[in-house]
Amino acid sequence: MNPRTIARLKQHELIENRQLKTGKHIDDIPNRAVKHSDSTNEFRILNNYFFRNRNIYISKHSRFAEYPEHTHQFLEMNYMLSGECDQIVNGKQVHLRKGDLLLIDVGCSHSISRLDEDDILINLLFRDQSININFLSGMRKSNSLVYNFLLNRVSGGGKLTPKYLIFRSEHSEDIKMTMEQIIEEYYEKREFSDTILQAYLSILLVKLVRNYHVSAPEGSNAKQKLIINILKDISKNYRDISLTNLATKYKYNKNYLSNVIKKETGDSFKDLLTKQRLIQAHILITSTTLPIEEIVEKIGMKNKTHFYKKYKEFYQRMPGDDRK
């Protein structure tokens, strides 16, 4: 990142100087932008304050005092540009290190502990209220057998999604790169900056979907862990994987393994394999100009008529419709 931008963010702002002197939180948002709860000390920050003349709002979180519990009417991203911080998010302790990104859903409560001199936390907010963790989850769910299975296990049926997500820097270098491009573009205020920020935001959202994972729930049994590994194998080797291959790899009887897959996922091995092939076909159809006949061959399906039938069942439209 441009050293000039970093130096600017490290400078003390007026509120930071006051908080450094008193050690107490100073409100930087007017009362008209806040709706207080009648039953708790929590408050909700309203949309209109941030988005009067812009679609994206970025700010540096003020250092040297704790920030009280609050919620937003919009999706919020907290990016740890330098240093580290602790937060309580949805009642749980969260620790962020340099390069980590915390995605907080609409209505999710959080508070932030005191930040010190070298702790630079960047807040990114944007206007589109249709973008939330459910939206990202839906995109991810349609492109990952593993994610779909894990979400069902975590939520007890797949109807619930997490209220926040953490993207760790060591696993999401591409997210880190785009986030820092956004920050620099926002603060440098160069020509066409608004247009570039909108493009970067679109890229960032897609990268968040690509890196959106749900961990296996604590206490997962041996069969669930086996299924997670099998689903990863199917996702990676969908073209030519077979139940016989998997039975040999994991040293199980083929029929027994087939029953375990059906019991744990609700689908047969054959159905899971077909779903993964259709997902891959959809990606190729929407992102390349390859002929559909060639795509059918690439994903490992032999019968073109069978492919069209299954694609229509899975996506509720024909392959050609996704290229219009």
Q: Note the pLDDT of residue 154.
A: 47
Angle of the 193-210 helix axis to the 133-141 helix axis, nearest 10: 60
Check if the beta carbon of residue 78 is closer than 8 Å to that of residue 121: yes
Residue 194 to residue 53: CA distance in whole angstroms: 11
Q: Note the pLDDT of residue 286.
A: 87
Q: Is the pLDDT of residue 232 over 50?
A: yes
pLDDT tens digits along 117-134: 999 999 998 765 556 566
Q: What percent of the chain has pLDDT over 70?
A: 77
For 203-260, what is the HEC assignment? HHHHHHHHCCCCCCCCCCCHHHHHHHHHHHHHHHCCCCCCHHHHHHHHCCCHHHHHHH
pLDDT tens digits along 40-51: 555 444 445 555
Q: Is the pLDDT of residue 75 over 90?
A: no
* pTM of the model as a whole: 0.68
Q: Is the pLDDT of residue 155 over 50?
A: no
Q: What percent of the chain has pLDDT over 90?
A: 44
Domains of the chain as residue ranges with CATH = 1-131+162-217 (2.60.120.280), 222-323 (1.10.10.60)
pLDDT band at 5 (very low <50, low <70, confident <90, very high): very high
Q: Note the pLDDT of residue 265.
A: 87
pLDDT tens digits along 288-311: 899 999 999 999 998 999 999 999
Q: Note the pLDDT of residue 198.
A: 85
Residue 313 to residue 295: CA distance in whole angstroms: 18
pLDDT band at 158 (very low <50, low <70, confident <90, very high): very low
| b/e per residue 139-150 (b: at least 16 CB within 10 A) | bbbebbbbbbbb
Q: How far is CA 194 from CA 58, 124, 178, 208, in A?
A: 12, 14, 15, 21
Q: Note the pLDDT of residue 108.
A: 87
